[in-house]
Amino acid sequence: MMAALLAGPQPVSEAVETRQVMISGFGAAPDVRALLYLPRHSEALRGAVLHIHGGGYISGAPEMAAASNLAIAEALGVVVLSVDYRLAPTTKYPGAVDDCHAALGWLHRHSGELTVDPQRIAVSGESAGGGLTAALALMARDQRSYPIAFQHLIYPMIDDRTAIDPDISPFVGQFVWTQASNLLGWTALLDCPPGSDQVSHYAAAARADDLSGLPPTFIACGALDLFVDENIDFARRLIRSGVPTELHVYPGAPHGFQFVKNSGVAQLAARDSLLALGKALAVRAT
């Protein structure tokens, strides 16, 4: 499926230029490929979004989200960088989050030439990409490496314990991404069994004891998604930690519902998502 996606024609926009860039990895890690979306005819200082694709930590590529990243860049006039992080099980934790951290650093270091305000850089991802987004925000906070203005989480995969929970709701995880799929993904990523005490909060953000000091957060999830309970609980804990948090739960929606773009719920979620990003980056959607 990925080979077919990469071989096919990619969406284009007259208003946005698309480039491929290579980013130096951390330490001895290989270079990281990323797709850069640059709005044309914009001279004003603007925001940026680091996008991290989904795929259960074991699949995916930035091309999966090319259409939505083009739409964000065009509607908001912001720069978007979508990172092609290393996948499990070939690369175990922390390879993927390190690649994303390297991409965040690249955005900050190149902010001048990209006409980007380094204080208006958001991080965004869906599913496993949402998990990496949340982990990256924790890592950047703890290491005091690069400021993040906003984290934008779409049905994020943030808690390995869901993969082995014997008491999940009977109304979730029946479509697209099941508990068995979740166990496969977490087992591929981690160097210890899912649910064990050794799992780092930089791998599974829900494991973090302290959520204070994180950037303002947007979380969206479908009510039929396997991740709905872990997402609601994460939002509750963020709010209790003093983090400005916006949570949306869409009735009747399973995991990945936004890919059915002509559905009413997907259109509603896309509007909510774009409004949240625009507000966070202080721009108005066109």
The per-residue pLDDT for 1 is: 65
* 8 occurs within a structural domain: no
What is the domain extent for residue 190?
Answer: 15-280
The per-residue pLDDT for 136 is: 98
* 5 occurs within a structural domain: no
* 285 occurs within a structural domain: no
pLDDT digits (tens, 9 = 90+) for 108-122: 999 999 999 999 999
The per-residue pLDDT for 286 is: 46
* 87 occurs within a structural domain: yes
Give the number of domains in the chain.
1
* 3 occurs within a structural domain: no
The per-residue pLDDT for 231 is: 98
pLDDT > 90? residue 284: no
pLDDT > 50? residue 21: yes
* 154 occurs within a structural domain: yes
pLDDT digits (tens, 9 = 90+) for 132-172: 999 999 999 999 999 999 999 999 999 999 999 999 999 99
The per-residue pLDDT for 10 is: 80
Segment 255-265 shows an average pLDDT of: 93
pLDDT digits (tens, 9 = 90+) for 182-200: 999 999 999 999 999 999 9
* 286 occurs within a structural domain: no
The predicted model scores a pTM of 0.96
pLDDT > 70? residue 99: yes
End-to-end alpha carbon distance in the chain = 33
Choose between 261 and 213: higher pLDDT. 213
The per-residue pLDDT for 282 is: 83
* 237 occurs within a structural domain: yes
Confidence bin at 46 (pLDDT 50/70/90): very high
SS (H, E, C) the chain: CHHHHHHCCCCCECCEEEEEEEECCCCCCCCEEEEEEEECCCCCCEEEEEEECCCCCCCCCHHHHHHHHHHHHHHHCCEEEEEECCCCCCCCCCHHHHHHHHHHHHHHHCCCCCCEEEEEEEEEEECHHHHHHHHHHHHHHHHCCCCCCEEEEECCCCCHHHHCCCCCCCCCCCCCCCHHHHHHHHHHHCCCCCCCCCCCCCCCHHHCCCCCCCCCEEEEEECCCCCHHHHHHHHHHHHHCCCCEEEEEECCCCCCHHHCCCCHHHHHHHHHHHHHHHHHCCCCCC
The per-residue pLDDT for 283 is: 65
Confidence bin at 47 (pLDDT 50/70/90): very high
CATH number at residue 243: 3.40.50.1820
